[in-house]
A and B are shown apart, each in its own frame.
Chain A
Amino acid sequence: MSAHALILAGLDGDRTWRLQDYVARGGYEALRRVIAEKTPPEAVIAELKNSGLRGRGGAGFPTGLKWSFMPRAFPGDKYLVCNSDEGEPGTFKDRDILRYNPHAVIEGMILGAWAMGCTRGYNYIHGEIFEVYQRFEEALAEARAAGLLGQNILGSDFSFELFAHHGYGAYVCGEETALLESLEGKKGQPRFKPPFPAAYGLYGKPTTINNTETFASAPFILRLGGQAFLELGKPNNGGSKIFSVSGHVSRPGNYELRLGTPFAELLEMAGGVRAGRKLKAVIPGGSSSPVLPADLIMDCTLDFDAISKAGSMLGSGAVIVMDETTCMVNALERLSYFYHEESCGQCTPCREGTGWLYRVVHRIEHGLGQPGDLDLLRSVAGNISGRTVCALGDAAAGPVQSFIKHFGDEFAYHIEHKKCLVSPMVQEAGRQIHVSRPC
């Protein structure tokens, strides 16, 4: 289902996730070679740097550089953590990677442990996908039985233990330091940075945290070579990337494409806007990334730099598509409710501000908007941004700011006329399609 797929290539749903299937696809070749040739850790990291791989969890930080921050010589335990706490609305790629190709993540983590001198690793999996957590545990058991994990991996003197840990319903734990707190058995409230996890991470020890897709990319980079991976994408945006397409398209799902592919191609692969309707807006990188109107996104290529230039973020590659039947006030209300619900309560601007944002958007949506509400929203959002320990505050403010920036008319109409610019009949027609869709 994907052009230029690496991680999703050759998969057949629930039938091909086991160790033997992964090995048949060339799996664990990279690890076997690294161990047989005793590839120096610096060489592995150099390959990652050459590949141009940037973190797939949302921030897009260069992975090779992150790996180089780890103090290899630090005595005692060093940890490797995979962030599979995928709860950013619109993002559902890690779920498919873990359930259909779990060994790619495991191999990537073992390679990371080799390169960074880590002794122990954890994969923190989103609580709501508990069935996937169970499958990952099975995959770990297969890898252990095959001598790929544990003491003396493949007969070498290299040892690495890897375990699965699950969340239980807290969006904020996708933030790396909140995730570490949660792994330590506490409520998931983010830590102040610095110190960064490479200096003070899990149990206070040096720790590297990467996203699931980032780890899953590592074996392919070492197998193909960093340069070949880089050339799949474009300079500074190496490789292919999985895009999760949801919302008003005919075929929602995950599509793995070269970075730099035009957005229009992805939309076409996802079957286009459902029922031949007109595209209205797209949130290109998960709910926290600014919304872009149709004309802006249709001119974009899908890579970190192009989306950033258009005023948004590639983020996690979660593309939420909205057609002409969408009321933007209603859409923003859903998002604002979410951030209000998920604010961990640690920082006052976020705890109070997200509630304020939600209540004001809610009253506009329900015909109770007041003149001055848009200024109020801008002011509250502006007072959250940059004033919190973690990025959840900015993530809550971003949609409010971008929705008002691009669709201010709709908000003003709601406030003035106490009703929606998109007629209820049109909205209703838009909803019916999916409800009656045969599955």
Chain B
Amino acid sequence: MLSQESLQQIDREIAKYPPGRKQSAIMSALRIAQVEKGWLPKEVIEFVAAYLGMPPMAAYEVASFYNMYDLEPVGRHKITVCTNLPCALSGGVYVADYLKQKLGIGFNETTPDGKFTLKEGECMGACGDAPVLLHNNHRMCSFMTTERIDQLLAELEKQ
């Protein structure tokens, strides 16, 4: 179900916790699985749960509670825009509107070619860099302007 590399990464996470506390690695394990698979189908969540020796339902509770896990397919590039107050004061809503217009999609939608998904995010803890957005959960893009969005999309388009 998961590659050897992913399993090795999960093993490294498990080793951080005391014996018998493998469940503590669930958040990392789901993150690692999602990076490999692009999103988290039910079978993958069940596999991860079995790997950590926890009930599938407990793993599903985690996957559905934290909003960076994707329980439905997303585009190759997921862009999450912060529209919370500090970002909004600095143009965050404009950034979101500009992306919607450029990509021709709304929040929680994916472009027909499967390349881009747009999400609305909540505080990313980088308000001094506002407006900010996240690319595929792990890359923070700061001080976004229309020009910088154009650059980012052009760069991602090529990948």
Hey, which bits of chain A sit against chain B, CB under 8 A? Answer: 77, 86-92, 94-95, 120, 122, 126-131, 163-171, 182-188, 203, 244-248, 252-254, 283, 287, 318, 320-322, 326, 331, 334-335, 338, 341-342, 344, 431, 434-439
30 contacts between A and B (CB under 8 A): A88-B123, A90-B85, A92-B128, A95-B126, A126-B124, A127-B137, A129-B124, A129-B140, A167-B66, A168-B66, A168-B67, A169-B67, A184-B23, A184-B24, A185-B26, A186-B62, A203-B21, A247-B90, A252-B127, A254-B128, A287-B84, A287-B123, A320-B85, A320-B86, A320-B89, A334-B88, A338-B84, A434-B89, A435-B91, A435-B145
List 10 additional contacts besides A334-B88, A439-B143; criterion CB under 8 Å.
Answer: A89-B85, A92-B129, A166-B28, A168-B67, A169-B69, A169-B122, A185-B23, A246-B130, A320-B85, A338-B123
Q: Which residues of A contact B125 (CB under 8 A)?
A: 86-87, 91-92, 94-95, 126, 128-129
Q: Which of B49-88 contact A (CB under 8 A)?
A: 52, 54, 58, 61-62, 64-69, 83-86, 88
Question: Are B91 and A169 touching (Cβ within 8 A)?
Answer: no
Q: Is B139's CB within 8 Å of the partner chain A?
A: yes
A246 to B61 Cα, complex, angstroms: 34
Q: Complex Cα distance A120/B16, Å?
A: 10
In the complex, whether B25 has a CB less than 8 A from a CB of chain A is: yes
Nearest 5 interchain pairs by C-beta: A185-B23, A187-B65, A169-B68, A128-B124, A246-B127
Quick check: A90 and B86 within 8 Å, CB to CB? yes
Tell which of B31, B89, B121 has the most Cβ of chain A within 10 Å: B89
Partner of B85, one of A122, A163, A166, A287: A287
B158 interface hit (Cβ, 8 Å): no
CA distance A86 to B24 in the complex (A): 20
Give chain A residues whose Cβ lies under 8 Å from the Cβ of B129: 92, 252
Note all chain A residues with C-beta closer than 8 A to B137: 127-128, 130, 168
With A and B bound together, what is the CA distance between A342 and B66 in angstroms? 10
Question: How many residues of B are in contact with the other chain, CB < 8 A?
Answer: 55
Residues of A within 8 A of B142 (CB): 439
Q: A89-B86, A166-B27, A169-B66 are in contact. Are A185 and B94 (CB under 8 A)?
A: no
Chain A residues within an 8 Å CB radius of B122: 87, 89, 169, 171, 338, 341-342
Chain A nearest Cβ from B99, distance in angstroms: 13
The A-contacting residues of B in range 133-151, CB under 8 angstroms, are 134, 137-140, 142-143, 145-146, 148
B67 touches A131 (CB 8 A): no
Which A residues touch B95, using CB under 8 A? 435
B18 touches A203 (CB 8 A): yes
Is B123 in contact with A171, judged by CB distance below 8 angstroms?
A: yes
Residue of A nearest to B26 (CB): A185
- Give, as a whole number of angstroms, the nearest-CB distance from A433 to chain B: 8
Q: Please give, as numbers and ranges, the residues of chain B lying within 8 Å of A438 by CB-CB distance.
A: 145
Q: Decide: A77 and B18 in contact? CB cutoff 8 A.
A: yes
B123, closest chain A residue (CB): A89
> Assuming A92-B126, A341-B122, A439-B145, is B27 touching A131 (CB within 8 A)?
no
Quick one: which of B16, B58, B65, B128 contacts A163, CB cutoff 8 A?
B16
Determine whether the beta carbon of B140 is less than 8 Å from that of A168.
no
Contact of A92 with B143 in the complex, beta carbons under 8 Å: no
**Complex CA distance for A371 and B27, rounded to whole angstroms:** 46
| Contact flag A131-B140 (CB < 8 Å), given A185-B54, A246-B90, A435-B146 | yes
In chain B, what residue has the closest Cβ to A96?
B128
Q: Given that A87-B123, A436-B145 are known contacts, is A247 also in contact with B86, CB under 8 Å in the complex?
A: yes
Contact (Cβ within 8 A) A431 B27: no
B24 to chain A: which residues have CB within 8 Å?
A: 165, 183-185
Interface residues of B in 21-58 (CB under 8 A from A): 21-28, 30-31, 52, 54, 58
Q: How far is the CA of A171 from the CA of B82 in the complex (A)?
A: 13
A167→B123 contact, CB < 8 A: no
Minimum CB–CB distance from A144 to chain B (whole Å) comes to 12
Interface residues of B in 92-144 (CB under 8 A from A): 94-95, 121-131, 134, 137-140, 142-143
Pick the contact of B134: A122, A128, A253, A344 (CB < 8 A).
A128
Partner of B94, one of A87, A129, A171, A431: A431
What separation, in Å, do the CA atoms of A252 and B128 have in the docked complex?
5
Known contacts A95-B125, A120-B18, A166-B28: does B85 contact A334 (CB below 8 Å)? Answer: yes
A314 vs B25: C-alpha distance when bound (angstroms): 35
